[in-house]
C-alpha cells in the first residue's frame, strides 16, 4: 500500500480527530468517559495538543489521513509518543510501522536516547505492536482518568535502537 508520512498542519487537525475517533471507537466502552475524551480530543483539544506536540500523519493516495501519532521531547533526552492510531481497515498493512519509524527517526535526530509511551489494558493489539518493535514495560503504572495506564520504553544507543534490560543496562 502506498502511503505518505508527513508533519500535520493546521488544515489536518479535523482529519486527525476523525482518525482518532474512528480508530478508538471500538474501545469507547472500555475507557472512562474522561479517558476517552482525552484520548480522542475535540478539534479545539487537538489544536491545543498541536501547540505542545508534533503530529505526524499517514496519508493514502487520495490524501486521506489513515494514521497519526504525536510526540514531544522532554529534556532533549526523552521523547514521548501519544495518540498513535491507524484506521481499522488499514491496520496490519504497515502504516503504524511507518509512523513509528518516522517518529523514531525524528526523535533520534533531536538527540533523544529514550522513547516512552503509555497504553491501556484494552489496547492489547497496540501493546503487542509496541513489544514487537522493541518497547519494554517499565513497570510504571499511573492513573489515567480512573483507569490504569502502563508505561513502555525503548532505549536508543549509538545510532541504533536497543532495548533496556530490567537492571538498567542495555542488552
CATH of the domain at 27: 3.40.630.30
pLDDT in tens, 44-84: 999 999 999 999 999 999 999 999 999 999 877 899 999 99
- Quote the domain boundaries for residue 115: 4-162
> What are 156's strand-pairing partners?
161
Cell of 13: 487537525
Q: What's the confidence (pLDDT) of residue 157?
A: 63
pLDDT in tens, 14-37: 999 999 999 999 999 999 999 999
Number of independent structural domains in the chain: 1
Of 96, 125, 116, nearest in space to 30 by CA: 125
Of 113, 135, 159, 145, nearest in space to 34 by CA: 145
Residue 167 lies in a domain: no
Residue 31 lies in a domain: yes
Residue 170 lies in a domain: no
CB 55 within 8 A of CB 68: yes
Residue 98 lies in a domain: yes
Q: What angle do CA 160, 162, 165 make, to 5 degrees?
A: 160
Q: Provide the whole-model pTM.
A: 0.88
Average pLDDT, the chain: 90
Residue 63 lies in a domain: yes
Summarize the confidence of residues 133-146 as an average pLDDT: 97
Residue 169 lies in a domain: no
Q: What's the CA gap between 166 and 60, in Å, rounded?
A: 39
pLDDT in tens, 110-131: 999 999 999 999 999 999 999 9
Residue 168 lies in a domain: no
In Å, how far are 33, 34, 111, 117, 139 from 30, measured between CA atoms? 9, 12, 36, 19, 22
Q: What's the CA gap between 120 and 96, in Å, rounded?
A: 18
The bridge status of strand 160-162 relative to strand 65-74 is unpaired
Residue 46 lies in a domain: yes
Q: What's the CA gap between 24 and 48, in Å, rounded?
A: 20
Amino acid at each position: 500500500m502506498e502511503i505518505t508520512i508527513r508533519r500535520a498542519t493546521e488544515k489536518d487537525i479535523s482529519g486527525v480527530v476523525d482518525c482518532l475517533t474512528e480508530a478508538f471507537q471500538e474501545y469507547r466502552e472500555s475507557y472512562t468517559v474522561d479517558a476517552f475524551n482525552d484520548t480522542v480530543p475535540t478539534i479545539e483539544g487537538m489544536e491545543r495538543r498541536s501547540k505542545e506536540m508534533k503530529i505526524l500523519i499517514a496519508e493514502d493516495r487520495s490524501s486521506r489521513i489513515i494514521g497519526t501519532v504525536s510526540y514531544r521531547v522532554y529534556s532533549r533526552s526523552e521523547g514521548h509518543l501519544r495518540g498513535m492510531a491507524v484506521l481499522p481497515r488499514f491496520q496490519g498493512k504497515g502504516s503504524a510501522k511507518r509512523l513509528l519509524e518516522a517518529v523514531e527517526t525524528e526523535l533520534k535526530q533531536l538527540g533523544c536516547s529514550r522513547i516512552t509511551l503509555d497504553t491501556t489494558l484494552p489496547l492489547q493489539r497496540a501493546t503487542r505492536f509496541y513489544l514487537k518493535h522493541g518497547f519494554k514495560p517499565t513497570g510504571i503504572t499511573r492513573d489515567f482518568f480512573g483507569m490504569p495506564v502502563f508505561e513502555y520504553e525503548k532505549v536508543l544507543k549509538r545510532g541504533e535502537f536497543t532495548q533496556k534490560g530490567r537492571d538498567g543496562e542495555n542488552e
